[in-house]
Amino acid sequence: MTGRSALPKLCKFLKVVALILFLTLLVLFLVATVRTFTLEVNAELQHARWGKTASVPADLSAAHSEVLLANFKEAIRIPTVSFSDSHQNTSALQEFSHLLKRVFPTIFSSSLVKHEVVENYSHLFTVSGTDPELVPYMLLAHIDVVPASENDGWELPPFSAEELNGFIYGRGTIDNKQAVMGILQALEYLLERGYVPRRGFYVGLGHDEEISGNAGAANIVKLLKSRGVKLQFLVDEGLAVLDGIINGLNGPAALIGVTEKGQATVKLSVSMKPGHSSMPPRQSSIGILAAAVTRLEDYPMPRLFGSGPERSTFEHLAHKFGLPFRFVMSNLWLFIPLMSRVMERKPDMNAFVRTTTAVTMFNSGVKVNILPSSAEAFVNLRIHSAQTLQEVMELIESTISDDRVKVNLISGFDPLPVSSFGEQSFGFQIIKKTILDMFPEVTVAPE
């Protein structure tokens, strides 16, 4: 009798629970729907703040454009290659310095501009402003490039700067001589027309960025610090205007990088007694190390999507997607777990989700019938902004969980702090407004 009398009460309770769940889901759906169709009118997301930027100059003459194009091609043809910390093409770096002085004469002769050479090949330009109360900003780019050979799959020689189908081919065209020449050409153009800025600024051109910048950028920083320089904001090489790259996105998008992932290079090594292949042990040094590498690939770093600026990236772009993507991206507060699982399936999207792990080198063995006494692998990790280098190292150790495998950090650094990108962020809004003035059809988002 007791069991029977309790059954109606249980059924009633379950009905109440089901009703509460239904109402909760209904409220969540209504909130998500309202957010989906109102997010695009949010001024903080879609409009740039703080005044007007200078008007876009009239089109350059065809003759002037040809000169600029020729200067850029000449810059690409100079092989300013950084091979390693101890090996750079210094003669090419010197040649590049001569090129800058020749094609930008106004910059090097202007009374507004102070030019300094740092560590023989880097350049620091100080441009004076009329209002010393305004905190200056800084523009950065780098002169050096990574090695390239025609055997790397280039359709045209990598230092030829030849044109094909409307594109200029060459090492440095997008990393980073386009910024070097673009910044200086803009300054040259303005100075020729009597430009005097209210807010002073700096231009820094490093010569060894591809090998960590310890000589160029690091010493520019030391120099500015010694002078007590404070910056309002700083713009370095970053992302691009993407069109047709993001599936489902209607129209182009300009992504402004507001942080940089951390990085770690980790060496895994195993040491054993050497032996002969005719009497192999149960596990060789290669087998032990291979198992460790397999564990790192089978158990990737935890999902962290939504813990960094990537959530705002998709919220800024949400209104440019059609349904159902728009519904999901406008409501990441609800759909982050779903988005994380979908995105991690593609390598380019997986980089948004977590710290990535890439095994890039594996070395062992000297002869087919000799058991190697040692094996080593190198792993490169790009650390998500919500993690630290120390956390990553601890996760590597716990994932491998094998005392026979030594884990050594070769080099690494924490992710950079996330720069502000809200409505009151002066630097971000100035960059955003400049982009929208130049490309009014794009959608701007932090990344």
The answer on pLDDT for 54 being more than 70 is: no
Distance in angstroms (rounded) separating the CA atoms of residues 40 and 318: 8
Same domain, 108 and 220: yes
What percentage of the chain exceeds 90 in pLDDT?
64
Coil, strand or helix at 161: coil
Domain range spanning residue 214? 78-237
Same domain, 229 and 344: no
Predicted local distance difference test score (pLDDT) of residue 43: 41
Whether residue 50 contacts residue 43, with contact meaning beta carbons closer than 8 Å, is answered with no
Residue 406, token pair as written in the block: 């030594």
The answer on pLDDT for 110 being more than 90 is: yes
Q: Which amino acid is at 196?
A: V
The answer on pLDDT for 74 being more than 70 is: yes
Whether residue 82 contacts residue 88, with contact meaning beta carbons closer than 8 Å, is answered with yes
Q: What is the pLDDT of residues 351-370, one digit of tens each?
A: 989 999 999 999 999 899 98
Distance in angstroms (rounded) separating the CA atoms of residues 272 and 404: 9
The answer on pLDDT for 2 being more than 60 is: no
Q: Which amino acid is at 280?
A: P
CATH number of the domain encompassing residue 351: 3.30.70.360
Same domain, 283 and 363: yes
Q: What is the pLDDT of residues 435-447, one digit of tens each?
A: 998 888 899 999 8
Same domain, 356 and 395: yes
The answer on pLDDT for 23 being more than 70 is: no
Predicted local distance difference test score (pLDDT) of residue 363: 94
Predicted local distance difference test score (pLDDT) of residue 335: 83
Same domain, 93 and 204: yes
223 within domain boundaries: yes
Predicted local distance difference test score (pLDDT) of residue 41: 45
Same domain, 92 and 213: yes
293 within domain boundaries: yes
Same domain, 335 and 232: no
369 within domain boundaries: yes
The answer on pLDDT for 57 being more than 60 is: no
Same domain, 159 and 280: no
Does a cis peptide bond (omega within 30 degrees of 0) precede residue 350?
Answer: no
The answer on pLDDT for 47 being more than 80 is: no
Predicted local distance difference test score (pLDDT) of residue 202: 98
Mean pLDDT in residue range 192-202: 95
The answer on pLDDT for 112 being more than 50 is: yes
The domain boundary, picked from 204, 237, 270, lies at 237
Same domain, 208 and 348: no
Same domain, 230 and 267: no
For 399-412, b/e burial (b = at least 16 CB within 10 A) is: bbebeebeeeeeeb
Distance in angstroms (rounded) separating the CA atoms of residues 433 and 138: 17
Q: What is the pLDDT of residues 225-236, one digit of tens each?
A: 999 999 999 999
Mean pLDDT in residue range 47-59: 55
Mean pLDDT in residue range 189-218: 95
Mean pLDDT in residue range 102-117: 97
CATH number of the domain encompassing residue 211: 3.40.630.10
Cα Rg, the chain, nearest whole Å = 28
Q: What is the pLDDT of residues 123-178, one digit of tens each?
A: 999 999 999 999 999 999 999 999 998 878 899 999 999 999 999 999 999 999 99
Mean pLDDT in residue range 75-100: 96
Whether residue 444 contacts residue 48, with contact meaning beta carbons closer than 8 Å, is answered with yes
Average pLDDT, whole number, for the chain?
89
243 within domain boundaries: no
pTM (global) more than 0.85: no
Mean pLDDT in residue range 72-100: 96
Q: Tally the C-alpha atoms within 13 A of residue 132's C-alpha that lie toward its C-beta.
A: 1
Predicted local distance difference test score (pLDDT) of residue 144: 97
Residue 348, token pair as written in the block: 């380019």
Q: What is the pLDDT of residues 287-305, one digit of tens each?
A: 999 999 999 999 999 999 9
Same domain, 199 and 308: no
- Confidence grade of residue 11 (pLDDT, cut at 50, 70, 90): low
Predicted local distance difference test score (pLDDT) of residue 293: 97
**Roughly how many angstroms between the first and final C-alpha of the chain, as a whole number?**
65
215 within domain boundaries: yes
Coil, strand or helix at 181: helix
Q: Which amino acid is at 426?
A: F
330 within domain boundaries: yes
The total of structural domains in the chain comes to 2
425 within domain boundaries: no
The answer on pLDDT for 258 being more than 90 is: yes
Residues with a catalytic annotation lie at: 144, 209
The answer on pLDDT for 4 being more than 60 is: no
Distance in angstroms (rounded) separating the CA atoms of residues 212 and 215: 8
Same domain, 216 and 275: no
The answer on pLDDT for 325 being more than 90 is: no
Q: What is the pLDDT of residues 271-288, one digit of tens each?
A: 998 888 888 888 999 999
Whether residue 429 contacts residue 435, with contact meaning beta carbons closer than 8 Å, is answered with no
> Which of these ranges, 1-15, 245-259, 366-380, 405-419, has the smallest mean pLDDT?
1-15
Q: What length is written for the chain? A: 447
15 within domain boundaries: no
